[in-house]
Structure 1
Amino acid sequence: MKLRSLPQRIGRVLVGALLGGSLTCFLLGARTSTAHADNDAAQPAQRTVYSQSVAEHYNTRFGADHPFLPSLATTDTGEFINPRSFPTAKYCGHCHQQAHAEWRQSAHSNSFRTPWYTRNVNLLMAEKGIEYARHCEGCHNPIALTSGAMTKGSPINRKFDEDGVTCSVCHAIQKVDTRGTGSYVLAQPAVLVDENDKPIYGDISDKEILTHLDRHSKAVMKDFYRTSEYCSACHKAALPRQLNDYKWQRAIFLYDEWQQSSFAKQSPLPFYTKDSVSTCQTCHMPREALTLSDPGAKEGKLASHRWLGANTIMSKFYGYDVQMDKTVAFLRNNVFNIDIFGLEKNGGSMTGPLGTEPVSIASGDTLTTSIIIQNKGIAHSHVPEQRDMYESWVEFEAKDATGRILSHSGGLMPNGDLDPRAHSFTNRLVNVKGEINDLHQVWNNRVVAYNNTIASGRSQIVRYQFRVPVDAKGPITVTARVNYRRFDQHFMDFAMGKDHYPMPIVEMAARTRSFELGNNPATKPDPVDNPLWMRWNNYGIAMLDAQQYAESVRAFEQVARLRPDYPDAHTNIAIANFQWQRYDDSRTTLDQALKLSPRNARALYYLALVERNQGNLDAAIADLHEVIAQFPRSRDAHRELGFSFYQQRKYNEARAEYETLQTIDPDDLAAHYILSIVYRRLGLADKAAHEAAMFADQKDDPTASTYALEFLRKHTEVANETIPWHTHTDLTPQQAKQGGTPAQ
């Protein structure tokens, strides 16, 4: 491996972004012999010497030109970086006390050292080899990756493991893209630039930094650090062929979900709109008042370096009480709305929305409750895709006035496992043996058996059926909760090497309704519920996703009746009719939406789909042009416009749209497929071959469904959860429930 030739070769192949999306601490620092970058190791000439020495024993399993695969991370020159040239977090924390204290309790700081991570990655290394773990370390331990430590027998001192994603990593990122899996370009860190904006490497005194704060800022801050694209490099990931010896599979795509959500305001398609744009940093790095000294603060507030999310077990394990309290508050901060929406009695029609209509209940009745769970406060799905060992679920309970439990779902079994029949916001990863990858062995994944995660701005319906005993005492109280714990019990016990390791369980949201035996008249609106039109709207969304199109249309018609000035009500009716393949009906209600809002981009997008289906391509193209004029980063509009041009054999125009689409999502499958044809017809054989190869690698494996069917055949208790429209029945009452440690 000749490292002198790597910069040019790697630079052409790998360009990238960051890891975790964050503005870590500014790099002000004091002179400390053990805390700052090694001055000799940091010099440019020494970097080449170091890199060549690493290359002598480095395993280039994935090619000499690609030393960091399966991670998409690379360095600015393609050379390795001596870990001693990275200033430590302690060095930064001398001045940036607040940022350092917050960072120390964050998931970034602890990204490598937690036992659940190390045990999982050790499985990969034991099964396939340490070089495969480069896929993980590109985001969990960038210094280990870029220093060349990820090779068998490496002599590199790994003191840096304790700092995980440290300050000098995030603030040395030079370039980003949105492919994910560590798609960033990392340079050798510098805390100061000279008068020509050239980095000054090595030990920098406090006096020099404080004398040239503007040059310090230029060294450690870039505008793109404040964008969601910065975060996408690691908060989006794929499982490439180099990792699984199978094919490319998408693992997580939080950036894509954000980009298409109402929070980003880059797409016209969400069911709800936000007043302003929220980036990853808006939610995960809000400005907070200082409790310690930090010159990076503005007006006494600093962008939080806690990056609050959902990692409750880390806070418990390390005793980070402040981080735990803030994490629990974050999880409970208006993330979900729970609506006990409807009630069916003895198999009859549903009464709902509950509270707005009278309902009568008698002893001996069989009741079916419809619970609507709305993801209103997250810009991505809950839980993120292929986070199969995370655990969030609906707990349902019905009891009478004596406290007698009539029905209970979503309880924990004596060994701590969640009842497999519970409605959980999760997915199941299945391997070639038709067995679940129960320890997050994503490198053996073949198919997602089912996916019940709830997307941003969407709603799910969960139905529970139970019988009111003849001797029940009224009132009957029904409660639904959304619970969360970081991992399922089986994975946590493996990670910690002990049975039933206790975990905090957070009740993220809850809703209770009571029903008297006998008549229950309509009541005034409950202030904890959404407005009536929104209750119907969320029910309609849930019915749409459950493929109950007639009921979805009925719900959205109620919204239109309650809000006759609301164009989206008519558009939503049209969406349900379109999916129901009732195109003329869809056209009619879209016309109504456009009368209320003549240039409404959401209505125009769906009108274009109807027009194309009816053979009017010119009209569809005109409408999609208008959508893109209002939402230039709408990936859906560019995709549909490109396909419309393709149908007209306007290949240059189609090419332009699909190439634009790839700047938004480099992995769009339709773009790979159509461009492989378009390029060939334009005489661009090499480009056509590249796109064809990408499509072949990224398209679904048509045989993989057999693995899912084999898993479900063996596990009939969970098969019900794969059906969009189902009811939880035969629920066994539990007088005592066992669980983890509640997070209060």
Structure 2
Amino acid sequence: IAESGAIDARGEVDPNAYFLNAWVLDRDGGRIARRNAQDIFVKLYDHQIPPGAASVVHYQVHVPEWVKGGISIEAAVHYRKFDSTYMRFVSGDDAHVNNLPVITLAHDEQRIPLAGAHGPPGEDIGAIETWQRWNDYGIGLLRTDKGDHKGALRQAEHAFQQVDRLGRADGLTNLARVYLRDGDVEKAAAALSTLSERHAGFRPWVRAWLSAQVERQRGNLDSAIQTMRQLLATRFNEARRRGFDFSRDYRAQAWFGRLLYERARRERGDKSARMDWYRKAEQAYQQALRWDPENLAAHYGLAQVYAALGDAEKAALHRRLHQRYRPDDNAVEQAVAAARRDNPVADHAAEANAVYRLRPASVGGGLLAETESTNAIEQQP
């Protein structure tokens, strides 16, 4: 009865579909669509899903009155190497038909009854476990939240509570993330404490990272520092067996540097001890720059550290580097505004909670016309 992501006779995906891509702009707000990576300036949106994460997409569909009993919802993620815009560019032909193969990466189906229908509440046709559905849904909601959508956090909390009730350690772990995002430190601490009791061996490095954040917000800097030292040294047998080396995590190193800097400022009377903490903060920030030379947090932190150590020259250097790598907020706003003004489809996709309306299904139409709901994905050059 309805679909999203159909491909037309020219091989072009419905532009109003949800794309698992990043819409990247140049300084004038134009889309980076011709492999001109040297012109990349800012992202309008990023719908890519990193490993271990998930995404939530909202669809709206009109169910005709003649539909009785129930409906089947089919979702799929499709991949194609290059999109039609790029293929027209490389071919030099505006009428080029994009016939590159489409690969289905993932597929799932659900059958649900309509109001007033008799029978079971719904049928899960796919092979995905219930806890994983709840967990992925919660992760997607947590990634959707940008700090001003409390509703997404409440929904994520409910989802992870279901995961916990099903006996999975992921539930309590992710509940701690929700509470930290929401600023409820005590609830986060309680979730981590229960996690330690019920699932002591579950990814202790994740628990360490979350615990360090809790202890910092509680003001227990020494405890947070000790935990971070263990984490950055990868003192977890399972993590080492899996090839993890957290010392390379430049964001964690920069965060650790900030933690050490805050600890130094607590040493009011003992100047020698204070200088020692500043030196430790310097080492952490430098470790972050080893893996990410343009890390803003590290350059900003080093400017503060060297100022405290009395090294004006190095402090000035890192202030300059921070300014050099820091995005021009005014230019970013202008580029984003231009892109949203000139491309209604991208403007809609950039909304935090965009709703994608399914269109009446085509009859004998494009390549994907038989699916009720699809997520189309094309890799943007």
- TM-score when normalising by structure 1: 0.42
Separation in 2, partners of 1:596, 1:474: 43
Flag the 1:535–1:639 CA change in 2: closer, same or farther, 3 A. Answer: same
1:530 aligns with 2:128: yes
Q: Is the 8 A contact 2:76 2:106 kept in 1?
A: yes
2:255 paired residue number: 640
Q: Secondary structure at the match of 1:511?
A: strand
Separation in 1, partners of 2:362, 2:179: 42
Structure 1 position 685, deviation (Å): 4.7
Separation in 2, partners of 1:641, 1:606: 13
Percent of residue pairs identical: 26
1:664 paired residue number: 291
Q: Secondary structure at the match of 1:481?
A: strand
Q: Is the 8 A contact 1:568 1:593 kept in 2?
A: no
Residue segments in structure 2 that go unaligned for 5+ positions in a row: 146-151, 236-244, 265-276, 369-381
1:502 aligns with 2:99: yes
1:614 aligns with 2:218: yes
Q: Secondary structure at the match of 2:136?
A: helix
2:209 paired residue number: 605
Matched residue type, 1:503: L
Separation in 2, partners of 1:682, 1:581: 33
Matched residue type, 2:163: V
Flag the 1:524–1:505 CA change in 2: closer, same or farther, 3 A. Answer: closer
Separation in 2, partners of 1:641, 1:422: 41
Q: Secondary structure at the match of 2:110?
A: strand
Structure 1 position 411, deviation (Å): 1.7
Pair member with larger Rg: 1
Q: Is the 8 A contact 1:608 1:624 kept in 2?
A: yes
Structure 1 position 739, deviation (Å): 5.0
Structure 1 position 606, deviation (Å): 1.4
Separation in 2, partners of 1:508, 1:530: 15
1:576 paired residue number: 178
Structure 1 position 418, deviation (Å): 2.3
Q: How does 1:62-141 map to 2 (within 5 A)?
A: none
1:696 paired residue number: 323
1:519 paired residue number: 118
Q: How does 1:192-341 map to 2 (within 5 A)?
A: none
2:372 paired residue number: none
1:439 paired residue number: 34
Which of the numbers 358, 366, 369 marks the counterpart of 1:738?
366
Separation in 1, partners of 2:225, 2:47: 35
- Matched residue count: 332
Separation in 2, partners of 1:701, 1:670: 16
**1:127-160, Cα deviation, whole Å (9 max, x unpaired):** xxxxxxxxxxxxxxxxxxxxxxxxxxxxxxxxxx
Flag the 1:730–1:484 CA change in 2: closer, same or farther, 3 A. Answer: closer
Separation in 1, partners of 2:113, 2:358: 23
Structure 1 position 598, deviation (Å): 5.6
Q: Is the 8 A contact 1:429 1:446 kept in 2?
A: yes
Q: Secondary structure at the match of 1:575?
A: helix
Q: Is the 8 A contact 1:465 1:727 kept in 2?
A: yes
Separation in 2, partners of 1:570, 1:611: 17
Higher share in helix: 2
Separation in 1, partners of 2:118, 2:228: 53
Separation in 1, partners of 2:28, 2:293: 32
1:552 aligns with 2:167: no
1:625 paired residue number: 229
Q: Point out 4+ residue stretches in structure 1 off by more than 6 angstroms.
A: none
Q: How does 1:164-203 map to 2 (within 5 A)?
A: none
1:67 paired residue number: none
Separation in 1, partners of 2:180, 2:294: 27
Q: Is the 8 A contact 1:413 1:419 kept in 2?
A: yes
Matched residue type, 1:484: Y
Q: Secondary structure at the match of 1:519?
A: coil
Matched residue type, 1:654: A
Q: Secondary structure at the match of 1:724?
A: coil
Q: Secondary structure at the match of 1:417?
A: coil
Which of the numbers 56, 61, 66 marks the counterpart of 1:471?
66
Separation in 2, partners of 1:716, 1:684: 51
Flag the 1:449–1:487 CA change in 2: closer, same or farther, 3 A. Answer: same
**1:364-392, Cα deviation, whole Å (9 max, x unpaired):** xxxxxxxxxxxxxxxxxxxxxxxxxxxxx
Residue segments in structure 1 that go unaligned for 5+ positions in a row: 1-405
Flag the 1:410–1:520 CA change in 2: closer, same or farther, 3 A. Answer: farther
Q: Secondary structure at the match of 1:470?
A: coil
Separation in 2, partners of 1:452, 1:602: 25
Matched residue type, 1:610: V
Which of the numbers 703, 710, 725 marks the counterpart of 2:338?
710
Matched residue type, 1:585: K
2:198 paired residue number: 596
Matched residue type, 1:426: N
2:2 paired residue number: 407
Separation in 2, partners of 1:724, 1:598: 36
Q: Is the 8 A contact 2:60 2:357 kept in 1?
A: yes
Q: Is the 8 A contact 1:567 1:594 kept in 2?
A: no
Which of the numbers 67, 84, 103 marks the counterpart of 1:489?
84
Separation in 2, partners of 1:441, 1:589: 46
Higher relative contact order (CA 8 A, sep 6+): 2
Structure 1 position 495, deviation (Å): 0.4
Q: How does 1:359-378 map to 2 (within 5 A)?
A: none
1:375 paired residue number: none
1:719 aligns with 2:334: no
Separation in 2, partners of 1:687, 1:739: 60
1:326 paired residue number: none
Flag the 1:519–1:694 CA change in 2: closer, same or farther, 3 A. Answer: farther
Matched residue type, 1:711: A
Q: Is the 8 A contact 2:53 2:136 kept in 1?
A: yes
Flag the 1:571–1:473 CA change in 2: closer, same or farther, 3 A. Answer: closer
